Structure 1
C-alpha cells in the first residue's frame, strides 16, 4: 500500500531563500595584514570569515557538531533533503522527491547530473553507502547519536538513481533525519573518519593550513548555481573583541559568536540562534547521584541574573533544552526559580542523610562555546559554593571538551558539570531527547527506563499526539530526573562588513551557507 506522503521538486537549481539584508555604514581600513593572507580589497572575490575556533575536523558524519557543521554542511557536502529554517519545511537537495511506500520503508529519487569534487557521479550506491557509514558503522559518527540514536535502518540502491531506506519500526520523520546525513563517494573510508571530505557542494577544500586558515574554492562542476563568491577563507580567533575588530578594520567580512561588549558597533546583527545553554550533570557519581543535590544546583543558579549580566540581556532564562517553535516544546516547563534558601536546605538535608556533598565537583567548560563562556561558569561556580558545594572549573578547548561530551566518557575524573549548548535547528524533539536524555544517548550521562519509554513512545507518534507525548517526556525529566541545569535560550550576534549581504537565521550557528552570502552592490 503506497502512502500519500510525497514531496516532489525536479528543479535543478536551489530553492531561493529570503532576501538578504545589507549592513551599511563606514568601515575603517587599516594597514594590518588581512585574514588568511588575502588583501582587504579582495573581498569582491573572497568572503573572509573569522570563527571562534578551528574546526576539529570536516568529517561529514560529525557535521552535527557546531564547529564542523558551520563549515561543512551544504558548503562542502550536501544531504538528500534540507530543512528551511524560516518555515520548517523540507526542500529537495540531492534528492528531488521522496515517498513512504510502506510503514517502514521510504524511497528517494536522486538528482541527476550531480558530480562529486573528484569528478565521479552521484549514484544511489554512494547515497546508500553514506547513510550506512553514518548510521551503521563503528567509526563513532556524532550524527548517528544525535539524529538516529538507537534507530536501526538499512539503505539499499534500487537502481542508479533510487535509494530505499527501511527502518525497524515506523519513523514518520525519516526524511528530516536524513537531512543530517552528508553524502560522500562510495570509496570514502568506511573504517575510519576522514578529516577533509569529498562532497557535492558548491565549494571544495582548496587548502587547510592547520592552526592558521582554511580556504574553500568554488567547485566548477557544481550542479546548481555558482556561489556568489569564488573563494571563502576561514580563520579563527578566540577573543570576540578581536573578531569584531577584524570586521571593523576590513580584515574580515563575517565574524560569528560575538558578545555585546565585543564592540561590533553598527556592524552587529542580532538573530535567534536556536541554541540553549545548560550544565549537564553526571548523575552517576556522588554527590550528583542524589536528586536533591541536582535540584539544589537548579535553585542556586540565578538564570535571570546571568542573562542580564553575563549575556548583557541577550537571551531568555530557560527551563528546557527544547525551545519554543520546536515540536515537543512544553510551555509549562519554565526556568527553575532562584531560591538560595531552598538550595541550602536541600544540600543540608542530603548531608544529614550521608550524601558526600563535600566531594569536589568539576565544571568542565569549553572556551568559545558562546560569548563570555568562562564568566558564565564563574557565576555558576560562585552560586554553588554559596550553597555549600565544592566546585572547581576546568576550561578546555573544543577537542579536549569533546572527550567529555560524547560517549565513552573519561573515567579518571570525579563528578562533573559539563558546560554544553544544544541547538535544535531540525525542529523536532526527537533530535534532543534520545541523544541527550536517553540511557544510552550519545551525549547522555544519565537516564531512566521510565523516561526512555516516554521518549520511545513519542518518537513513534505523529501530529498533535507527537507534540503531546514529547511535552510529557520533558515534564517528566524536569520533575523526576533533573539531569541538567538549563540556563538560557541564546541570542546570536555576528558582525558583517558593508561589502557583504547575508541574513542569518536560526540555523546559522550550525550551518552557515556560503551560497547565501553576496557581494554588496
Structure 2
C-alpha cells in the first residue's frame, strides 16, 4: 500500500514544549507549523507570512468580506469610482497613522505599488497583476487615480492584495515592517517567536487582543496538544489525526488547491503523452480519509469550485496505471527519453502530511515506470524552484505547491500560473495567452464564459499540470476564544476578528 501509517503516539510525551508564557487575559499565543523567513509586507500574500502580517501589521486599500455578505469593502480606501478608460479614483481614509507616527496619504499608496512592481525586489503580490501596467496620479493627499493598461474591470478587488507601507520604505526587503494596521511588530527572535502588540493610536476600532505571540512547532500533534493544555490559543493548521476534540477543533473548506507544476519546456514532460501519463499514474482517491481529511475534494482546476466561471463539466483524471505505462511506451517509441529523472520538490509543512503525500505520489509514479524521486525543502529553498527563473536540471522537476484563491475570480491565478510570462508558469502556449488576456478584460456573463473556456483548455488540451486536491482546513481554537476559522484562515489570521468568551 502506498500510504504509510502516520505515527502519532507518544509525540507529546517525547517532545519538549516550553512552559506557557505568563500572559494577560487578552494576550494570546498562536502556534504555527512553519517559521517565517520574512516579515516583508509585499510578501503577505504568501500564506506563512500573511498569517502574521496581513491586516495585522499592514493593511490594504480594499478587503473582501469572507465572514458575511458585504462583498468588497473599504479598508484604507473609503470609496472608489470607475472614471472610464481604465482609470479608477480611490478616496483614502483620513487621519490614519503608520506605526512610526507618520501620516498615511496618497504618496504612500503610490510608493507601495512602485515598490511591488520594482525589478529590484521580487514581491509575491506582483504576480496577481498579470501583464497589467498601473499608472498613479496623486490628486491630493486623500485622492489618487489609478490607470490600468489594459483596462482592468476588477481593479478595486486587485487592490486587496497589496499592503501599504510608508513612502520612506526602501526598495528592499525589510525586517521591521511599518504599517497602518492595529498591531506593531515589537520582537522577532528567529527560531523562537514573533510578537505583535496592539497600537493605542490605531485609526479603527480597538481589537480585543492586546498582544499575540507566535511560536513554531512542526508536529501537528504538538500544536494541537499545546492548545489543549492551555499553552497556546490557536493552532491554525492541524492534521485529521490530531483533530480529536470536538469542543476545540474546526473543519472548514479552505481556498487552497494542491498541485504538481509541470514544466512543459523540459524533456520528457514536453511530450503531452508524458504529462497525461503523470496524471493517470496517481490514485488521488486513496489519499482522502487516510492522510488527508474527509471533505477534501479532487481538483480539476487551479481555483476552488466557488470561483467565477467554474466548469462543472471537467472531471478528475482516472487512476489508470496501465494507461500511464502505455502512454510512456508510445512516447519512448517515438524517441522521447522517458528514463530522464523526474524530481518532485515539496515544501515541508506546506500543509498537514505533505511529506507523506509527496512520498506516496513518488512511489506511484515509480510503479508506473517514471524515474521519480522526491526532495523536501524549506520555504526559502522551495521559492527558488517555484518562481522564475527556474534552475536547470537533467530531466525535469515537478513542483508540489498549494495555491490560494479566496477572492472568487480566476484572474488571481491564471496569468501567473499559466501564461507564457507568468512567474510560476510551466506553459508557453500563445493560444492560452490570448484566452487569458481576453477573459481578464471581459465583464459580466462574458467574463464567466471565457474563464470557463480557459479552465477546459488548461485541463484537456494543454494538460498543464497535475491537479490534485481542493483542501479542507483543520484548526484548533481554545475554548476561551470567540473565533471561528473561515476560508481565509490558511492565508491570514486577523487578530481583530478574535474575541474572548
State the TM-score bracket (shorter-chain normalisation): over 0.9
Retained in 2: the 8 A contact 1:447–1:481? no
SS of alignment partner, residue 378 of structure 1: helix
Q: Residue 352 of structure 2 corresponds to which residue in structure 1?
A: 371
Q: Residue 195 of structure 1 corresponds to which residue in structure 2?
A: 175
Question: What are the superposed Cα offsets for residues 385-434 of structure 1, whole Å, 9 maximum, x if unpaired?
Answer: 11111101100011111111111222256400111111101211001110
Retained in 2: the 8 A contact 1:97–1:108? yes
Return the offset for 1:138.
3.2
Retained in 1: the 8 A contact 2:243–2:476? no
Residue 69 (str. 1) matches residue 50 (str. 2): yes
Return the offset for 1:339.
1.4
SS of alignment partner, residue 454 of structure 1: helix
Residue 334 (str. 1) matches residue 315 (str. 2): yes
Q: Residue 449 of structure 2 corresponds to which residue in structure 1?
A: 468
CA RMSD of aligned residues (A): 1.4
After TM superposition, the structure 1 = structure 2 runs for residues 112-261 of structure 1, keeping only pairs within 5 Å, are 112-145=94-127, 147-190=128-171, 192-261=172-241
Which of these residues, 270, 274, 293, is aligned with residue 289 of structure 1?
A: 270
Q: Residue 408 of structure 1 corresponds to which residue in structure 2?
A: 389
Return the offset for 1:179.
0.7
After TM superposition, the structure 1 = structure 2 runs for residues 33-72 of structure 1, keeping only pairs within 5 Å, are 33-35=18-20, 38-39=21-22, 42=23, 44-72=25-53
Distance in 2 between residues matched to 1:133 and 1:377, nearest whole Å:
36
Task: Tell which deviates more after alignment, 427-436 or 277-286.
Answer: 277-286
Residue 265 (str. 1) matches residue 265 (str. 2): no
Return the offset for 1:308.
3.0
Distance in 2 between residues matched to 1:462 and 1:71, nearest whole Å:
34
Retained in 2: the 8 A contact 1:43–1:499? no
Q: Check 1:389–1:270 CA distance in 2 against 1; reply closer, same or farther (3 A cut).
A: same
Return the offset for 1:231.
0.2
Distance in 1 between residues matched to 2:310 and 2:53, nearest whole Å:
28
Return the offset for 1:156.
2.3
In the superposition, the TM-score normalised over structure 1's length comes to 0.91
Residue 81 (str. 1) matches residue 66 (str. 2): no
Q: Check 1:500–1:95 CA distance in 2 against 1; reply closer, same or farther (3 A cut).
A: same
After TM superposition, the structure 1 = structure 2 runs for residues 316-395 of structure 1, keeping only pairs within 5 Å, are 316-395=297-376
Retained in 1: the 8 A contact 2:299–2:467? yes
SS of alignment partner, residue 116 of structure 1: coil
Distance in 1 between residues matched to 2:326 and 2:113, nearest whole Å:
51
SS of alignment partner, residue 503 of structure 1: coil
Distance in 1 between residues matched to 2:244 and 2:29, nearest whole Å:
16
Distance in 2 between residues matched to 1:447 and 1:426, nearest whole Å:
26
Distance in 2 between residues matched to 1:308 and 1:483, nearest whole Å:
27
- Unaligned runs of 5+ residues in structure 1 are 1-30
SS of alignment partner, residue 44 of structure 1: coil
Distance in 1 between residues matched to 2:70 and 2:429, nearest whole Å:
31
Distance in 2 between residues matched to 1:170 and 1:162, nearest whole Å:
20
Q: Residue 103 of structure 1 corresponds to which residue in structure 2?
A: 85
Question: What are the superposed Cα offsets for residues 162-189 of structure 1, whole Å, 9 maximum, x if unpaired?
Answer: 0110112211000000111101100000
SS of alignment partner, residue 413 of structure 2: helix
Return the offset for 1:305.
1.2
- Unaligned runs of 5+ residues in structure 2 are 1-15
Question: What are the superposed Cα offsets for residues 72-95 of structure 1, whole Å, 9 maximum, x if unpaired?
Answer: 110000011001124371101001
Q: Residue 274 of structure 1 corresponds to which residue in structure 2?
A: 255
Number of aligned residues: 484
